[in-house]
Amino acid sequence: NPTSGSAIITSGEVNLYEGNISVFSLSGEEQIIYTKNKNTIDLHDLSSGIYIYRFCNHGEIYTGKIIKK
């Protein structure tokens, strides 16, 4: 679902408070990076569009898509 302000990353598989979350534009440019203790991504400063998030935790990498209105 598209969001206009923030996105909450959830997972039943991993502890989101023990990793890093990065958000990239579709051109591959890193837009946001969060270190530990964050599962909510603030997208207010980003333009409307599609973004890819990457969550890294103990050598495992998980990715997903965020659509900002």
Which of the four pLDDT bands, split at 50, 70 and 90, describes residue 40?
confident
Torsion angle in degrees (nearest 10) through CA of 65, 30, 23, 2: -50
Does position 10 have pLDDT exceeding 80, yes or no? no
Contact in structure between 3 and 28 (CB atoms under 8 Å): no
- The pTM assigned to this predicted structure is 0.82
Which of the four pLDDT bands, split at 50, 70 and 90, describes residue 15?
low
